[in-house]
Amino acid sequence: MIRSNLWNADNGDGTYINPILYADYSDPDAIRVGEDYFMIASSFCNVPGIPVLHSKDLVNWQVINYVLKKLPDSIYDKPVHGCGVWAPSIRYHEGVYYVCFPMPDEGIFMCTTTDPFGDWSEPVNIRPGAGWIDPCPFWDDDGKAYLVAGVAKSRIGYKSVLHMVRMQPDGMALIGDEVKIFDGNENDQVTIEGPKLYKRNGWYYIFAPAGGVKTGWQTVLRSKNIFGPYEYQVVMRQGETNVNGPHQGAWVDTVTGEDWFLHFQDVYAAGRIVHLQPVTWENDWPIIGAAKPGNDYGEPVGRYRKPNVGGITVDRIEPASSDDFAGKALNRAWQWNANPRDEWYDFCESGLTLHAIHREGAYSDVPNLLLQKWPAPEFECVAVLHLEQLTPGDEAGVISMGMQYGLIAFERLDDSIRVKRVLGKQKFGKIFVEQTEEESLVIAQVPAEMDTVYVKYRVKRNGTRDLNESEKGFPCEIVTFFYSFDGEEYHEALIMESVPGRWVGVKYGLFCISSALSSSGSVTVTEVRMERQITFELQED
10, 27, 266, 477: which one is catalytic?
27
Using DSSP, state whether 154 is helix, strand or coil. helix
φ and ψ at 143, to 5 degrees? 90, -10
**Cα dihedral angle (382, 383, 386, 387), rounded to 10 degrees?**
-100
Long-range Cβ contacts of 323-326 (<8 Å, 24+ apart): 323/1, 323/2, 323/352, 323/527, 323/528, 324/1, 324/2, 324/351, 324/526, 324/527, 324/528, 324/529, 325/351, 325/352, 325/525, 325/526, 325/527, 326/1
Residue 193 annotated to the active site: yes
Q: What is 32-90 written as a DSSP string? A: EETTEEEEE---BT-BSEEEEEEESSSSS-EEEEEEESS-SSGGGGS--TT-SB-S-EE
Q: Would you tell me how many other CB atoms lie within 10 Å of the CB of residue 141?
A: 7
Give the separation between CA 447 and CA 460, rounded to whole angstroms.
32
Beta partners for 112? 98
Give the separation between CA 24 and CA 268, rounded to whole angstroms.
10
Give the separation between CA 102 and CA 325, rounded to whole angstroms.
33
Listed in sequence order, the residues at least 6 apart from 170 whose beta carbon sits closer than 8 Å to its beta carbon are none
Please state whether the peptide bond connecting residue 48 to the residue before it is cis, i.e. omega within 30 degrees of 0: yes
Q: Would you tell me how many other CB atoms lie within 10 Å of the CB of residue 260?
A: 21
Angstrom CA distances, 111 to 33, 41, 145, 172, stand at 18, 14, 16, 9
Beta partners for 446? 417
24, 29, 193, 395: which one is catalytic?
193
| Closest among 9, 54, 21 to 36, alpha carbons compared | 54
Characterize the bridge pairing of strands 161-167 and 96-103. Answer: unpaired
Residue 24 annotated to the active site: no
Residue 343 DSSP code:
G
Using DSSP, state whether 153 is helix, strand or coil. helix
Q: What is the set of active-site residues?
A: 27, 193
